[in-house]
Amino acid sequence: MPNNPTRPAFGVDVFLSRTDPRNRAASAGRAVALAGVVLPLFLIGILKFTQVEIDALKPLIGGTPWLAWLYPVFGEAGASYLLGVVEIITAALFVASPWSALAGVAAGALGSLTFAVTTSTMFALPIWEGSLGGFPWLNATGQFLIKDVALLGISLLVFGGGAASLSRGHNPGSGGHAVRG
């Protein structure tokens, strides 16, 4: 297989020069997007090990039929700890994703699953502010959850970029460089 340049996870034209403003803007956008996923995953992930977050999750998990099973299986603290571990691991994989296509696939898959689940809770929980007449006015829960739509999109982009690199035969641990055949 020839040694072809790798297309980054967000599809930037690799044939633009490094000094081209379009490439610099796209690179900055990728970095900000990754930070925008890593920071909440890590910071909220470590918070899952505190009583404050264990208590905050009760209405979210308990009020969502497809998540309520977590409490009988793991207990309130155990469910929170499990989510925290998944979020921290996912954040670490996102950090590694620019250098490893395999990490990108894993991060994108875990992130997509995480954010698909969190956005799905908007269908089970009250997210509209009743005192303002409901839709389109989000309440505090809705404001917290709506951002996960963007995080889901970024996760899908990272997953797709990593999967595309792997399918082109790029070495998952070499910064996306092609495997020499």
Question: Do the domain assignments include residue 13?
Answer: no
pLDDT at 27: 86
Q: Residues with Cβ < 8 Å from 154, sequence gap 6 or more?
A: 33, 34, 36, 37, 111
- Report the C-alpha gap between 169 and 109 in whole angstroms: 19
Q: DSSP labels for 59-102?
A: HHHHT-TTTTTHHHHHHHHHHHHHHHHHHHHHHHHHHHTTT-HH
Question: Do the domain assignments include residue 181?
Answer: no
pLDDT at 17: 59
Question: Do the domain assignments include residue 2?
Answer: no
Query: pLDDT per position in the chain (181 positions), as tens?
Result: 444 444 444 544 444 556 677 788 888 899 999 999 999 999 999 999 999 999 999 999 999 999 999 999 999 999 999 999 999 999 999 999 999 999 999 999 999 999 999 999 999 999 999 999 989 999 999 999 999 999 999 999 999 999 999 998 865 555 543 333 3
The number of domains in the chain is 1
Specify the 3-state DSSP secondary structure of 176: coil
User: Which helix H or strand E contains 152, and what residues bound it?
Assistant: helix 148-167
Question: Do the domain assignments include residue 93?
Answer: yes
pLDDT at 70: 98
Question: Do the domain assignments include residue 16?
Answer: no
- Report the C-alpha gap between 145 and 116 in whole angstroms: 11
CA 133 to chain centre: 32
Question: Do the domain assignments include residue 104?
Answer: yes
Domain with 32, as residue range(s), is 21-167
State the Cα torsion 136-139-144-146 to the nearest 10°: -10
Question: Do the domain assignments include residue 10?
Answer: no
Question: Do the domain assignments include residue 175?
Answer: no
